[in-house]
Structure 1
Amino acid sequence: MHSEPPGERDALREKIIGLGETSLHKSYYPELQRRLAELERFRALLDQTHDAIFLIRAETGRLADVNASAKAYLGYSKKELLAMPFTDLISPQQKARFVEFVHKISVLPSESRQTWTAPLVSRSGTEIPMEITVRSVTFGGEQYVVAIARDITERIRIEREIRIKESALESSTNGILIADLTGAVMYANRSFAAMFGYEREGTIAGRNLEAFFADPTVGEKVTAHLLDNPAIVQETVGLRSNGSPFHIQISGSVVQNDAGQPLCIMLIVMDITERILTEQMKRETYTQLGKNIEQFAILGDHIRNPLQVIVGYAEMIDDPFAAKILEQSRRIDDLVTRLDRGWVESANVRQFLRRHGDGAKPPGETFFRFSNLKEEDR
């Protein structure tokens, strides 16, 4: 206005063109710079993450943006990725199901999130197993789908190893029991359940070790020993669910973490009833053999005593039959001598078996072997 003083007109002009102290340009530009700096920092963080991040236009399915990890995983440039639909990156076997999955996501409320597992195909054709978290978002009135893909190759390998180990535990013919450090059972395989007369392995979990031994104190002693020693081998008497005892051998050890701290106790149990019965039968056989040998020796003496009398009388009489009696007496004495040699040899065999046999122990006898003993102490 011409009526305004010249000074006010100059101040208004400088404010409009951005030269004044309170110009619109000077008040907006620092805020813009700050926002751009925040955006750059956020973009740098996205590029540093190991997860591949894809921004997908919901209407066309084409990629609107990707982070650096997506380019690194797939081997494409950003320009190449932005020129293709996201579904071109999905394994052909999973593509149709994934499209249906994304369609369901797009009709859900904004910010809803779902997870899908599918391989992404790299530029070289390699399929990378991914866990893809998908969510629907809206920017500036346009709907997008954000897909965050995490490489689960290592997780799949570990899960496969765990399944193999679990299968090995389940298929073992020996009973396997895992308990916590207080002796409470955490896991038992099928063989253990069958050995101890339980219908299902699940019914064993939560029980204490003492429930599986005829002598309840054995479970407590085994637990206490393993907390101070790396391993134990013990023969003892187990107790089935119906209360019947049977002979078992347990091999126990402590499972530790990477720092060497104890995590749990693992016991491998074998039913040795047949072996114990065989050893008992051997002991009874050795005992009976000894008795038979002693009887043979006594019987020989009993035969020789009357035989000496017969020989004495035969030598005293003058009769043609005396020579015949003496001849038969010598034959009897020879047979008895051969029996003597036989029982002596049997006694030697018996002693040899005792010295070099299996060293059977009486039924129910318990013994310990500790893995931390020195060789000369074993």
Structure 2
Amino acid sequence: MTRVLIADDIQQNLYLLESILKGCSYEVIPAKNGVEALELAKEHPPDLIITDILMPVMDGFELCRRWKADEDLQHIPLIFYTATYTDPRDERFAMNLGAERYIVKPVKPDVLMGIVRDVLNESEQGTSSPPEQTEQDEIKTLQEYNEVIFRKLQNKVLQLEDQIARCNQIEEELREKERFLDNIFEHIPNMVFVKDADDLRFIRFNKAGEDFLGVPREELIGKNDFDLFPQEQSLRFLETDREALQKNALVDIPEEPIQTRAKGERILHTKKIPIPDESGNPRYLLGIAEDITERIEIEKFRKTTLLQVEEQILQLAILNDSIRNPLTVIIALASMHDGGVFEQIAGQAYEIDQIVNRLDQGWLESMKIREFIRKHYP
């Protein structure tokens, strides 16, 4: 079975090339660098070597130079297989070192295997022979090798400079996005906080939260609820925190009391939202709390006012009936007497009727007030 030695420091490349060669019934010996390839070749001489160029310990160019200088190995054909050294000057230098072929990745497997078969056939027919080098040729080779390495280093430096510039640009873009998000976070009018999902300690507070609680941000970060609030409230906060994290879903708390240093006891409408990590597990707990104390007080006032208006409407209706019904009876009885008495009673009745009409007007106005409250303060 034809034996092929392959050298590459990237395991994935080794595996792919080995799979292709084995699929064509070649025996394969893998090596991770030039030194290892030379050692393996000494122990188990191959019929062909396919090597990468950019490798640690010993690169492909130095491997080729030593390979072609070794009496036991120089007759074994060598193919360069690289994705890094793509400059035509690199290929020219490689062929001057004595390589049989120079293949630039990527290449289709059938094309690669065609080249492998051609090289092996040439080797069997003796059409390929290592170049004879004088001392002057060796010096020239080393100079060319240094030029190739220097050129590659220059290219790498330029690539690194481009990458550094791109990284700096990305970092600045990220900083700008962070400033933008921080600006939004700080200008949200409601209290916003973030807790670590593991220990439920505060790691972030916005300006509204700092002002609402009346506590400097430095005193809030790293603390938990029990460090800041009464135990009863802290236990309730802890319960809803755990509920949100266990469900891994938003928890809405319509009303919850909180003791603040700046404003005393207030009422909050709070939403707690788990923020997951890459695997979907809660990493942080986001809280958004709106102070609804005034709203609740207004609602209580509305309800009280509405009840008072309803009571007033009822009393006016009762009073109206209490006066108007007896008045009707009095006028009817007075009509049975002579004209003087009737006129006197009728005059008094008229004045009372005017008072009752004003009560009716008050009742109508109260009805309007009730409808206004129901419409604008539902």
> What band does the TM-score fall into relative to the shorter chain?
0.5 to 0.7
2:180 aligned with 1:130:
no
Could you say if the C-alpha distance between residues 42 and 179 of structure 1 is closer, same or farther in structure 2, counting changes exceeding 3 Å? farther
Work out which of the residue numbers 293, 296, 299 in structure 2 matches 1:273.
293
Counterpart-to-counterpart distance in 2, 1:174 and 1:243: 15
Q: Deviations over 1:115-154 (max 9, x none)?
A: xxxxx6xxxxxxx6837xxxxxxxxxxxxxxxxxx83322
Q: Does 1:220 align with 2:307?
A: no
**Percent identity for Structure 1 against Structure 2:** 25
Alignment of 1:50-65 (within 5 A): none
The structure in which a higher percent of residues are helix is 2
Aligned pair 1:336/2:370, yes or no? no
Distance in 1 separating the partners of 2:292 and 2:256: 10
Q: What is residue 251 of structure 2 aligned with on the other side? A: 232
Relative CO higher for 1 or 2, CA cutoff 8 Å, sep ≥ 6? 1
Between the aligned partners of 1:319 and 1:274, the Cα distance in structure 2 is 65
Q: Does structure 2 retain, via aligned residues, the 8 Å contact 1:249–1:269?
A: yes
CA shift at 1:357, angstroms? 5.9
Is 2:330 the counterpart of 1:296?
Answer: no
Residue 72 (structure 1) shift: 4.6
- Name the counterpart of 1:54: none
Alpha-carbon distance in 2 for matches of 1:233, 1:151:
41
Shift of 1:294: 2.0
Structure 1 position 68 matched with structure 2 position 155? yes
Is this contact kept in 1: 2:256–2:268, CA < 8 A? yes
Cα distance in 2 for partners of 1:41, 1:169 equals: 55
TM-score under structure 2 length normalisation: 0.52
Are 2:357 and 1:323 equivalent residues in the alignment? no
Question: Where in structure 2 are there 5+ consecutive unaligned residues?
Answer: 1-37, 43-53, 63-80, 86-149
Matched, 1:173 2:189: yes
The corresponding residue for 2:214 is 197
1:336 to 1:190, Cα distance in 2 relative to 1, 3 A: same
- Once residues 41 and 170 of structure 1 are traced to their aligned partners in structure 2, the CA distance between those partners, rounded to angstroms, is 57
Contact 1:129 / 1:153 at 8 angstroms: preserved in 2? no
Name the structure where strand makes up a greater proportion of residues.
Answer: 1
- 1:203-249, Cα deviation, whole Å (9 max, x unpaired): 01222235457733320221122111411222221210368201221
SS in 1 for 2:335: helix
Deviation at 1:257, TM superposition (A): 2.1
Q: CA RMSD in A?
A: 4.0
Residues in 2 aligned to 1:39 and 1:283: alpha-carbon distance in whole angstroms: 88
CA contact (8 A) 2:268 2:290 kept: yes
Q: Matched residue of 1:316: which SS?
A: coil
Asked whether the 8 Å contact 2:196–2:202 carries over to 1, the reply is yes
**Equivalents in 1 of 2:61, 2:299: separation in Å?**
76
Separation in 2 of the partners of 1:174 and 1:201? Answer: 15
Q: Secondary structure at the match of 1:233?
A: strand
Query: Could you tell me whether the CA contact under 8 Å between 2:302 and 2:373 is conserved in 1?
Result: no
Deviations along 1:27-71, one digit per CA (max 9) or x if unpaired, are xxx89xx9x9844259999x69xxxxxxxxxxxxxxx76343434
Distance in 2 of aligned mates of 1:217 and 1:232:
16
Question: For 2:290 and 2:173, how far apart are their aligned partners in 1?
Answer: 32
Distance verdict in 2 for CA 1:151–1:186, change over 3 Å: closer
1:285 corresponds to: 305
* 2:169 counterpart letter in structure 1: T
Cα distance in 1 between the residues matched to 2:61 and 2:313:
97
Residue among 56, 59, 77 paired with 1:40: 59
In 2, are the aligned partners of 1:183 and 1:219 still within 8 Å (CA)? no
- Alpha-carbon shift at residue 309 of structure 1 (Å): 5.4
- Partner of residue 141, structure 2: none
Question: 1-side partners of 2:200 and 2:307: how far apart?
Answer: 42
Looking at structure 1, the residues matched to 204 and 312 of structure 2 have their Cα atoms a distance apart, in angstroms, of 52
Secondary structure, aligned partner of 1:303: helix
Distance 1:42 1:297, change over 3 A: farther
Residues 229, 292 of structure 1: alpha-carbon distance in 2 compared, 3 angstrom cutoff: farther
Tell me: CA distance 1:195–1:301, structure 2 relative to 1, closer, same or farther (3 Å): same
In 1, the alpha carbon distance for the partners of 2:280 and 2:259 equals: 33
Structure 2 CA distance for aligned equivalents of residues 168 and 287 of structure 1? 43
1:368 aligns to what? none
Distance 1:219 1:319, change over 3 A: same
Classify the secondary structure of the residue corresponding to 2:266. Answer: strand
CA distance in 2, matches of 1:286, 1:271: 25
Give deviations 1:128-183, integer Å, cap 9, x for gaps.
6837xxxxxxxxxxxxxxxxxx8332232222212221222122222111012242
Equivalent runs, 1:146-165 vs 2, <5 Å: 151-165=167-181
- Structure 1 residues 319 and 129, CA, compared in 2 at 3 Å: closer, same or farther? farther
Counterpart of 2:266 in structure 1 is 246
TM-score (norm 1): 0.52
2:268 alignment partner, SS class:
strand
